[in-house]
Structure 1
């Protein structure tokens, strides 16, 4: 009791229960070895590279390693600055359309315009790699909502984790990535957009402008544009985040 307060003073008591559990990445990777091995083959630049580390692929099968009583997870990068209550982001789960298993924002650079170059050349009318609102620019995994129950129940999603299905998908789109799990979500999203709830760009306002200076300055702003009050800044590629 604080000094000067009587026992009968009206007070509001709030009790927060917080449980922190640390997981050994090596143990988790062992459990998902077939999945992670296939992902590394298609979505990393090789062993020893940054996105070649197994930790960048655990999100795709988190539903297989988390206890069944955990039904939803928000997964966040460390280079973020939050401008609103995280509860508002959690409420986005309520906006998932039927069949969706993951909430994720679009990529805000033309990285997948570049990565899908061969498919785009062979399919000049495709929307793959084009900017929003009509194009399919791919996803950025800096902010993700994983509906673990939906992932467990989706026969389609489970099938897409199988090495054979993954091989077929990457061959169809002539895809070889280097950005870990977001490459998987991106190529799956080209074929099965119904599996995703697309978050507004203000939930993952990416700040990196690398591709503006590396061959895509003429189209960069079409990808980078984001209107509205920013709720999460993402300082990807070591970009400084604006001060308050």
Structure 2
């Protein structure tokens, strides 16, 4: 019933608020660097829960697949769980690269000061950043990784943000992107077909000449991602 659905949504919101409260010191540090300010879409604590999910979930819960709502599945989602089996030893999170030059833009000052850097460059040799629309969280690995948990500490978040002159606005994926520039070994790169992002906003906003270098995705598509309200194909 409608009342039942509304009650379920209310319960979920209460749970999320409680979890965010438990993670307040971590979330507060993230919000300073990875949101556009109070009231902005990605400023809400819910967009930072993934970074410390291993600290609030029960110990017997070892793997989580986190998915955005604007997705269309072209395969059985159980196939995505099998990607956990391919994680290298130090990886804690499976995630796809960002398919727009958003981090070419965000890291502009660092790139200007370091013209030989791969930061923000397109694949295959560059580091274009990550998109958090589809993520595999190995909670066991996250709990056991001394490096990952050290990077969550507010002083280290601030240190890296200062090092890279980083001021983002996309929540958890900004954090993952930033630490991935420094420690790519923490991430298992999923094939682009697991999060085939469709947004073309940056193509029309100053990056048309390089856009396709980021946007290209060879191979089969398993999940379409209609980010920035982009229509998803019906095929």
Kindly tell me the number of residue pairs found equivalent between the two proteins.
224
Corresponding position of 1:78: 69
User: Which residue of 188, 191, 214 maps to 2:205?
Assistant: 214
Asked whether 1:68 is paired with 2:59, we answer yes
Show structure 2 runs of 5+ residues with no match: 1-10
Corresponding position of 2:226: 235
Partners of 1:66 and 1:82 in 2: how far apart?
Answer: 26
The structure whose residues are more often helix, as a share, is 2
Asked whether 1:176 is paired with 2:175, we answer no
Task: Give the number of the structure whose alpha-carbon radius of gyration is greater.
Answer: 1
* TM-score normalised by length of structure 1: 0.91
Q: How does 1:132-143 map to 2 (within 5 A)?
A: 132-143=123-134
Asked whether 1:153 is paired with 2:144, we answer yes
Q: SS at 1:211's partner residue?
A: helix
Asked whether 1:121 is paired with 2:124, we answer no
Task: Let me know the Cα RMSD of the aligned residues.
Answer: 0.9
Report the alpha carbon displacement of residue 24 of structure 1 after superposing the two structures with TM. Answer: 1.6
Show structure 1 runs of 5+ residues with no match: 1-20
Corresponding position of 1:106: 97
Corresponding position of 1:223: 214
Deviations 1:17-73 (CA, angstroms, capped at 9, x unpaired): xxxx94621100110000000000000000100000110000000001111110000
Partners of 2:219 and 2:117 in 1: how far apart?
Answer: 29
User: Which residue of 17, 21, 24 maps to 2:15?
Assistant: 24
Q: SS at 2:64's partner residue?
A: strand
Partners of 1:216 and 1:30 in 2: how far apart?
Answer: 39
Report the alpha carbon displacement of residue 228 of structure 1 after superposing the two structures with TM. Answer: 1.1
Partners of 2:92 and 2:68 in 1: how far apart?
Answer: 19
